[in-house]
Structure 1
């Protein structure tokens, strides 16, 4: 159920696929600070739809690290792996609008046929399966071929028209600005896969609406993805929060900190004798 919508509600939503690092600490501290500035509440959400990479010990680590930083949140915590049926219903709504289609292409096939890249640098899907004959779709689905379901961006945009969203920054209390969304630069994104009825894009907009999120603080690396989220909000008749895109914490070589790159974790820093104040000084205001 949504929280009390009479006051601002923010959220910090890490994925438990590794230990938190300084980049997470900056985003979390900023979110709680912003909630205090707005007179609102900060929620914790566990985004664990990747059930292979996400582990219970990393969930425990998130709680440990955030409490160590002096952050607290209302209970219960929303856990995405408990909500697959809800995401499936949202996907079915898009399916009933004829906005999802099955795609049977492998990553290698997409890379070979792509003409350009999306904002994340991945090969842009060329629409190979968009116009498959219905009979072939059914045959391949019944055969159990690996499949993912893509959002027909062209058809989706035609339903909603011009898309805008509201941005504040560099402080969440700054005057809001209107920005235009351009989801077409992502191509036909994947929203569901065989065995997994959701994606990050679908689950995040469903959960933000369910929790009554009014302000989303996220890193600048997620700014382009907001185009897809705004589109899904319109298609599913969900409210659109106000967005704030914060700076990223970089390593000594100017690269974004990342679990996949083995960036030093908060647990590692704590073992070295760092304090929460040391973390706050390291990431800056």
Structure 2
């Protein structure tokens, strides 16, 4: 089966991607994407540049952002907001508040890495912040991994790249992880709706492991306004994909998909259209047609 012509999650230098927004669009077009979303974390700053590039390259761009949310004890679930008015003042105010909360968490995690004995050069991190760019867990992990003072420790612990360092020290439950305080999933969905968009839970099986837990969580989120689920995702298995697509069809939810492009050198998320529909049909609703 041919690769999908839509790819509804990608990231630029405005969050944790490695390419400028216009270059993300150019690469997507070259890869055969006809319907693209630029969905940087907790920001819409790259969308005007991306929209101009999309017109130049002849593809459709969906305005989007990916919001990091709290859900009880779960500390980093992601809700995608699609079709938002990215100039809406209330949306911009909410994003500014949530980024400030994320920045404070970044400082707490940097402190925690140092308390764990990692050397950390904060100058590149502060340079990103001074340029108005976010400092998230990938940037902290990269700074720690790249520091020569940590090279021997990384070899000893089998941390072959910054992603493995992130997964060992900066995920929920790990020693250097610190949680955000806002928004909840319901708050994020409300802001997305108020900005004219639809809310989709990103990569459920990236966050949760068990079918029953995912099903229960979808139903809880639907009760607070969730519009869809990212059923088709680069790390989902065939069984997970078909389960999610079937649930979306049964519940009348949108079913979207992505390869979650972060840049050509990313160890996992480096290629557009690199996800499988497994024979199921997406329901893109107002985002489509492709």
Q: TM-score range by the shorter chain?
A: 0.3 to 0.5
TM-score by length of 1: 0.34
TM-score by length of 2: 0.33
